[in-house]
Amino acid sequence: MDQPQKQPVIIGNWKMYKTIEEAVSFVNKLAPEIKESKAAVYLAVPYTAIKSVVEAVKGTSIVVGGQNMNDATQGAFTGEIAVRMLLDLGAHFVLLGHSERRRFFHEDDAFINRKVDRALTDGLQPILCVGETAEERDQGKTEEVLTRQLKECLNNIDPSRIDSLMIAYEPVWAIGTGKIATTEQAQAMHQFCRHWIQETYGPQASAQLKILYGGSVTPENAAEMLKQADIDGLLVGGASLSVESFSQIITSTS
Ligand code: PEP
C-alpha cells in the first residue's frame, strides 16, 4: 500500500534582513506563487515586521513567528522580548536555540530549556534547533552533542506537551556555508533524534513530532532531502530571502 504523502513544513528564517516594506512586499509576491502548494509554510521574520506581515498574510495559510524570545514573562531585561509581546504581534511560533544565538549570544542549553518551557506554557510553538559543529563531527561526537542538546533543552518538558514543538536538525557547518549535509548524513541524524524521542517520550510522540533539516537548502536540493523517511520539513535561511528561490523550494517539495 502507498504511504500517505506527508505534508512538509517549510520554514523561512529571515534573520536580520528586511524592513517592514520589504517584508510585506515579499509576502504579497510569495502568496500567489505558493497557492497550490500542500506544504505548511512558516516565516520567522524580524520583530519589527511581524505585525505587518501577519496582516499581509491574512487569508493565506502562511504562519508567522519570531526568531528568539526571553524566558521571563516580563522584567528588567533591556532589549529582550517576551512571549506575550510576540503573541501581541500575532506570532504563532518561535525559533529557539538557533546556532547563531548559541554562538554569537552565548546561549546555553539550560537557557534554551527555560525558553522552550516558557513558550509552551504561554502558548507559542517552539522550533528547537540542534546540531553539531564541524569540529564536533570530525571528532566523532555528533551523536553525543545531539543527545546532550535534546536532553538538556527538553529537560522537564512533560510528554503531553512534546508534540506541540518541532525540532530542527541544523548541522552548524552547513548553515550559510553552501555545504549541505548529504541526504544520508541528514537522514541518519534525523533517525537518531527520532529514536531518542521514542526512547524518552514513547512511540506516539516519535511518530508525531516533526523533525526538520536546516543548512544550505536550495531549490536544487530541497526535494531530495524531503524524500528521506525521517525528514519532515526544511528550515531555510539564505534561500528564503528571495521570493523566487523560496517559492521554488516550496513548490518543488509538495
Ligand atoms: C538557518 O539560518 O537556519 C539556515 C539553515 O541557514 P541557511 O539555509 O542559509 O544555511
* Model pLDDT, residue 45: 98
The reply to whether 98 belongs to the active site is yes
Report whether residue 236 contacts ligand 1, using a CB cutoff of 6 Å: yes
pLDDT at 163: 86
What residue's CA is closest to ligand 1, atom 1? Answer: 237
| CA 1 – ligand 1 centroid, Å | 36
Distance in Å, CA 214 to ligand 1 centroid: 6
Report residue 195's pLDDT band, with 50, 70 and 90 as the boundaries: very high
Pocket lining: 175 vs ligand 1, CB cutoff 6 Å: yes
Confidence of residue 77 (pLDDT cuts 50, 70, 90): very high
In 3D space, the residue among 48, 50, 86 whose CA is nearest the CA of residue 69 turns out to be 86
How many Cβ atoms sit within 10 Å of the Cβ of residue 219?
18
Please tell me if the CB atom of residue 13 comes closer than 6 angstroms to any atom of ligand 1: yes
Residue 83 pLDDT exceeds 80: yes
Does 2 have pLDDT greater than 60? no
Q: Which three cell numbers stand for residue 91?
A: 506570532
As a whole number of angstroms, the longest Cα–Cα distance in the chain is 57
- Give the span between the Cα atoms of 29 and 132, in whole angstroms: 35
Q: What is the pLDDT of residue 4?
A: 54
Q: Are 94 and 164 in contact (CB under 8 A)?
A: no
Band (pLDDT 50/70/90 cuts) for residue 75 is very high
Cβ neighbours for 64, distance < 8 A, ≥ 6 positions apart = 42, 43, 45, 50, 53, 54, 57, 90, 91, 92
- Per-residue pLDDT for 54 more than 50? yes
Q: Which of 100, 107, 136, 170 is catalytic?
A: 170
- Residues 237-247, mean pLDDT to the nearest whole number: 98
Atom of ligand 1 nearest to the CA of 216: 10
Q: What's the grid cell of residue 131? A: 546540531
Q: What is the pTM of this model?
A: 0.96
Backbone dihedral angles phi then psi of residue 212, each to the nearest 5 degrees: -105, 150
Question: pLDDT by residue (tens digit) across 156-186?
Answer: 999 999 989 999 999 999 999 999 999 999 9
With a 6 Å cutoff on the Cβ, whether 81 touches ligand 1 is no
Kindly list the distances between the CA atom of residue 227 and the CA atoms of 116, 123, 143, 223, in Å, as whole numbers in the listed order.
Answer: 29, 31, 22, 6
- The pLDDT score that the predictor gives to residue 1 is 41
What digits encode the pLDDT tens for the residues 115-140? 999 999 999 999 999 999 999 999 99
